[in-house]
Amino acid sequence: MDLGTVIALGVLFAPLNAKTVVFIVVCGATLFLLPRMTSWFFKRFSRDHHYLKRLRTLTLGFLTPFYFIRAGSYVSIPALIAAPMAFFVLFSGKVSTKIFGLLPVVRRFRPHSKERWYYTLLMSTGLTFGSISAMFGLTHGIISRGQYSHLVAVVIGSAVIPTLIANAVFLPKHLLQQEAEGLPPDIGTPKKPLAK
């Protein structure tokens, strides 16, 4: 999802020149070769599933903060304090539209009410696209630093607050119990209504 976001933003906003063509060719070759190379590597050197998860976590945990530290350094706290209603209006609009768009789709796959809300709230974020778009707007003079501050605060809030609510109120503990017992998770197929 994040890779698609970055590619879409690059296509929309990057100038098309020789460097862009080189970048596209290199990315295409990398995306084609990397899965084959990594599968060979892990078959040869590591069959530990937990090792793969730790490697993924380490990679994301190491690389991701650099961008968000830079993005956060442009946020103006006085601008946020001066207009708190702007945050609440933008936050409410962002989260409510995400929820109304996601809930009907999640309902097809998750009949249990807690599961539906849990997955909907977890997916109602837009951290990557929102922060990259706001940074683009700031660096190209499309928005002011105050507007950027509100947008980034809303993007971060929409990632953190729904996740906290999902884990505190709607955590589907019966799925965690299934996983602990070694049962496969029941995902991926739409639920048919029971015959009456």
pLDDT value, residue 147: 92
Based on the fold, state whether residues 92 and 172 are members of the same structural domain.
yes
The per-residue pLDDT for 195 is 47
121 belongs to a structural domain? yes
Coil, helix or strand at residue 37: helix
User: What pLDDT score does 187 carry?
Assistant: 52
Residues 130 and 80 in one domain: yes
DSSP 189: S
One domain, residues 140 and 75:
yes
Q: Are 125 and 162 in contact (CB under 8 A)?
A: yes
CA-based nearest residue to 126, from 154, 149, 101, 100: 154
Query: Looking at the structure, do residues 41 and 106 belong to the same domain, yes or no?
Result: no
Structure tokens at 83: 């207009």
Give the model's pLDDT for residue 196.
45
Residue 187 resides in a domain: no
Give the span between the Cα atoms of 152 and 130, in whole angstroms.
Answer: 7
Name residues of the chain where pLDDT drops below 50: 188-189, 191, 193-196
pLDDT for 178 equals: 64
What is the percent of the chain where pLDDT is above 70?
73
Q: Is residue 14 located within the same domain as residue 110?
A: no
